[in-house]
Structures are given as C-alpha cells and as structure tokens.
Amino acid sequence: MFQRLRSDFRLSIITLLGLSGFLGITPFAVLRFHQGDVVTGVVDVLILCGVCGGVVYAWVTGDTRRSGLVMAIVASFGSVVVAGLVGDPGLFWLYPCLITSFFLTPPRVAIAINVSAVVLMVALGDAFSGLEQMGSFVSTALVVSACAFVFASRNEDQRRRLEHLATIDPLTGVKNRRAMDEELAIAQAHATRTGISCALILLDIDHFKQINDEYGHSVGDEVLVDLVNVLRKNTRKSDQLFRYGGEEFVLLVPAIDGVGLKTVIGNLQQLLRNHVKHPGGSITASFGVAELDWGERVESWLARADDALYQAKETGRDRAVFAEPRIRAVPQSA
C-alpha cells in the first residue's frame, strides 16, 4: 500500500485530502445530530460519503482523475449547502474547498468549480449578514482561488517535467527501463483480461562496443539515435519502444501472432542494415522474441525474451531467436 502511495502522486493527494476531510467533517456531523439539526447533519454525512467514496474508487480502479473531480464537486457544493443552512459559520468551510479543488482536478477545471460555487453562494445569499460581508467573501474567495491557480499550475508543470526526466532516456528520447516495467505490467494485465496476444522483442546491436572503441562514443551515440528513428518510423503507433540499457532495446508489440512477428523481425533486420550506418559500414542486430503465454508473469516473459536474445548472440549474431512457450496447463472451461 505504501509503495503505491509513493509511486502515485495523485492517489496520495486524494488519500490525504480524503482523510483530512473525514477527520474534519465527522465531529461537526456528530455535533449537528446532537444539537437536533438533522438536515445539516445529513448533508455533512452525504459529503463524507462522497469524499470517502471518491477515495475508495481511486484505490479500486486507479482512476484518480474521475474520483478527484467527484470529490471536488461534492466538497465545494456541499459547503455551499451547509453555509446556506447554518449561515455565517458555514462560509469558512468553502475556503479549504477552494484550495483543495486545485489538488484534486486540473487548474482550469478547479477554476470552473470554484467560480460556480462562489456564484451559487452569492445567488442563495442566505449565508451573508449584508452586502459588505458578501463583497468581502467574494473578494477573498477570488484571491484564494487565484493564488491556488498559480501554485497548482506551476506545480503541475514541474511534476510533468520530473515525470519526463524519470521515464525518458535523455539520449534517444524513448522510454527508459522504469517506464518499461510499468508498461509491461499494463500490457500483461490487458492480455490476461482480453486474451489478445502480445509479444516482446529484445534487440541488441552487434559489436557495439567495437564501434565505440574504434570511432568514439559520439559515433556510438549517433548509431543509437539513428536506430531509434528507424524503429519509430517503421513500427505501429500501438507498439512501444524502450531503451533497456546500453545498446539493448525492447519493443512491446500488442495484438500480433507468430507469423506477423516473423514478418516484423525480417523487415527490421533489413531496415537496420540499410539505414543505420557508421564509418565502418552498416550495423546488424540480434533479436530475442517471446510471445506472452496465458497467465505468465512479466518477469518470466522478459526472462524468456532475454534468454532468446542470448542464444541469438551466441549462435552468430544478426539473427532472431523465438523463445519456446512455457510448459503450462491449459485453463479448463467451466
């Protein structure tokens, strides 16, 4: 659980805000019922249910955007209703909601929610003792929203940059091994759920160390960039390319069978020979290929492809080896 919170920023924010909302609202809900204010107590309970429901939904489905939107709407407009019922004291509840909207939803969506909540509060008018208080509330609410918008926008931009740096190989511009681990897990889950075939292609540039030693690392870097460009231009949009390490790359190919894989490998071998060159001539590559077996774990899938690549290099290079399927029991139909 803690690992998931550390790796998923939005889920951690939703969980923290949900816990804060639960601890902050529950005592007041109990107090309302104790004082006989059943209507306001029920509204508080409904807000609690919406907030807690959003947290649970985020944990179960992983859909933090939808759950965050629901939580922001429930909290903001619930606060408007509470303010309309209890008057002056309820106004203060909207301020934290105005801020948390920017943590739960994109900045533009949060602005729309906040402006709508403030307009509705003014339209009801029951929470204000006079025009002066109404004017003060609107002014401070807009200032709070504006400051939160600036902070959230800068924070979102910085988070995107950090995510980019953490998941993209700086030399070639393709996803790195960290991103690959996440995408392989997603692909494995999707294949298990749908039954659609999926394959891994590991490729290693033959004698790459020799290229670096003879012509320098700058030439080696150019070879890597050229290889990536060729692969990107000649694979499908649904295929994903990752730099596995050094001169090794992984191509994730969904919805393909064995015949299609052989065609893809043959085309890639020819394209690399024709279009990726260095001062000593063209490059070649060795390929290890593994189709995902039913119920197979990602670690096993990747290991089979890696073993196939090792065999391709040990048996002469410039060739492709297809991994044998695992020995497994065929699932029984009910």
pLDDT for res 321: 95
Residues with catalytic annotation? 247
Domain boundaries, the chain: 2-167, 177-322
Q: Quote the pLDDT of residue 1.
A: 63
Residue type, 258: G
Report the sign of the C-alpha dihedral through residues 113, 119, 121, 124, in that order: negative
Give the per-residue SS3 of the chain. CHHHHHHCHHHHHHHHHHHHHHHHHHHHHHHHHHHCCHHHHHHHHHHHHHHHHHHHHHHHHCCHHHHHHHHHHHHHHHHHHHHHHHCHHHHHHHHHHHHHHHHHCCHHHHHHHHHHHHHHHHHHCCCCCCHHHHHHHHHHHHHHHHHHHHHHHHHHHHHHHHHHHHHECCCCCCECHHHHHHHHHHHHHHHHHHCCCEEEEEEEECCHHHHHHHHCHHHHHHHHHHHHHHHHHCCCCCCEEEEEECCEEEEEEECCCHHHHHHHHHHHHHHHHHHCEECCEECCEEEEEEECCCCCCHHHHHHHHHHHHHHHHHCCCCCEEECCCCCCCCCCCC
What's the rounded Cα separation, in Å, for the pair 120 and 122?
Answer: 5
Strand partners, 241: 251
Record the tokens describing residue 168, joined without a space. Answer: 């993209």
b/e burial code for range 13-37 (CB count within 10 A of at least 16 → b): bbbebbeebeeebeebbeebeeeee
Indicate the residue type of 237: K
- CA–chain centroid gap for 272, Å, is 32
Q: How much is the pLDDT for 289? A: 95
Per-residue pLDDT of the chain (334 residues; tens, 9 = 90+): 666 777 677 788 889 888 988 898 899 889 989 999 899 899 999 999 999 999 999 888 888 889 999 999 999 999 888 888 888 777 888 888 899 898 889 888 999 999 999 999 888 877 787 888 888 889 999 999 998 888 888 877 787 787 777 789 989 999 999 889 989 998 998 888 888 889 999 999 999 999 999 999 999 999 999 999 999 999 999 999 999 989 999 999 998 888 888 999 999 999 999 999 999 999 999 999 999 998 899 999 999 999 999 999 999 999 999 998 875 544 444 4
List Cβ<8 Å contacts ≥24 apart for 309-317.
Answer: 309/202, 309/203, 309/204, 309/248, 312/204, 312/286, 312/287, 312/288, 313/204, 313/206, 313/286, 317/206, 317/207, 317/284, 317/286
177-322 fold: Alpha-Beta Plaits (3.30.70)
Non-local (6+) Cβ contacts of 93 within 8 A are: 79, 82, 83
pTM for the model stands at 0.59
Place of tokens 């509840």: 93
Strand 320-322 and strand 285-291: pairing? Answer: parallel
Structural contact between residues 323 and 305, judged by C-beta atoms closer than 8 angstroms? yes
Which residue is it, tokens 């939703």?
14
Q: Give the pairing of strands 281-282 and 285-291.
A: unpaired
State the Cα–Cα distance between residues 7 and 64, nearest whole angstrom. Answer: 13
134 in Cβ contact with 142 (< 8 Å): no
Q: What is the pLDDT of residue 327?
A: 58
* pLDDT of amino acid 325: 85
